[in-house]
Amino acid sequence: MNRRSEQSEMGLIVKTTARATIPLIGIFGTYIVSHGHLTPGGGFQGGATIAGAGILFLIAFGFGEMKRRYNHHLYSALEGLGGLVFLGAAMLGLGVAFFYNTLWHSGPFFNGQPGTLLSAGYLPIMNLAVGLKVFAGLVSAMVAVAAYRRWKE
């Protein structure tokens, strides 16, 4: 219809609120990812939460602003990297078996007292990897949907 609806920017209140909440959502999501081995949640839930911050950005500030800050190659590579880190962590204990938690049994780190942050062997690494993958994947998917051709052609 007009230029405003094409860019689909929201009003001032929404934008200001988004400025305030996007960091909070991001921090909360990171908390969920990094405490996946201690509290409910984990890689997928935390990654989806952080992606929620990205989607809020996309809706509040419009696709034009998002396009300027989004790099397709970077996000694609990050998603691949998440998968590679997961696979790498699973391969650490390949001497015994695939997915053998060697960091927990005899590793140099991540083998602290159960219940502390630096425990549970490769689980925190895998949570971070899955969180990264889910975040990058969901944001890429939403940007791709938003960038899709217009309603009519």
Partner 1 sequence: MMLPYLIIVPLFGAFALPIISLAGKKARELWAVLITAITLGVAAELFYTVWKGGEILVYTLGAKSPLGNGVPFPIRIVWEVDLLGAIFILMVAFVAFVAVLYSTEYMRHDTGLEKYYALVLLLEVGMLGIAMTGDLFNFYVFMEIMSIAGYALVAFRNDTWEGIEAGIKYMFVGSIASSFILLGIVLLYGQYGTLTMAYLAKMIAENPTFTAKVALGLLIGGLLFKSGAVPVHMWLADAHPAAPSSISAMLSGLVIKIGGTYALARMAFSVFSTGIDTRTIGWVIILFACATLIVGNAMAVIQTDMKRLFAFSSVGQIGYILLGTGIGLAAYGSDVGNIALAGAIYHTVNHAVIKALLFLVAGVVIHQLGTKNLNELSGIARKMPVTSFAFLVGAAAIIGLPPMNGFASKWLIYESSALFNPLVAVIAVIGTAFSLAAYIRVLFTFLGRPSERVMKAKEPGKAMLVPMLLLVAVIILMGLFPWFISDRIMIPAAKMLENAGTYISAVLGGA
What backbone torsions phi and psi does residue 10 show, to the nearest 5 degrees? -85, 175
CB of 53 to partner 1, least distance (A): 23
Looking only at residues 31 through 90 of this chain, which bind partner 1 when binding is defined by CB under 8 A?
73, 76-77, 79-81, 83-84, 87
The helix-helix angle for 72-91 and 123-146 (nearest 10°) equals: 160
CB of 142 to partner 1, least distance (A): 17
User: Which residue shows structure tokens 């925190």?
Assistant: 124
Amino acid code (one letter) for 105:
H
What backbone torsions phi and psi does residue 115 show, to the nearest 5 degrees? 105, -15
> CB-wise, 61 or 70, nearer to partner 1?
70
Number of residues that bind partner 1 (CB under 8 A): 17
* Dihedral of the alpha carbons of 65, 16, 34, 38, in degrees to the nearest 10: -140
CB of 94 to partner 1, least distance (A): 7
Looking only at residues 87 through 116 of this chain, which bind partner 1 when binding is defined by CB under 8 A?
87, 91, 94, 96-101
> CB-wise, 81 or 146, nearer to partner 1?
81
Q: Are 59 and 139 in contact (CB under 8 A)?
A: no
- Cα–Cα distances (Å) from 20 to 17, 26, 51, 67, 92, in that order, read 5, 11, 16, 21, 41
CB of 131 to partner 1, least distance (A): 15
146 scored as a contact of partner 1 (CB under 8 A): no
Which residues bind to partner 1, rule: CB under 8 A? Answer: 73, 76-77, 79-81, 83-84, 87, 91, 94, 96-101
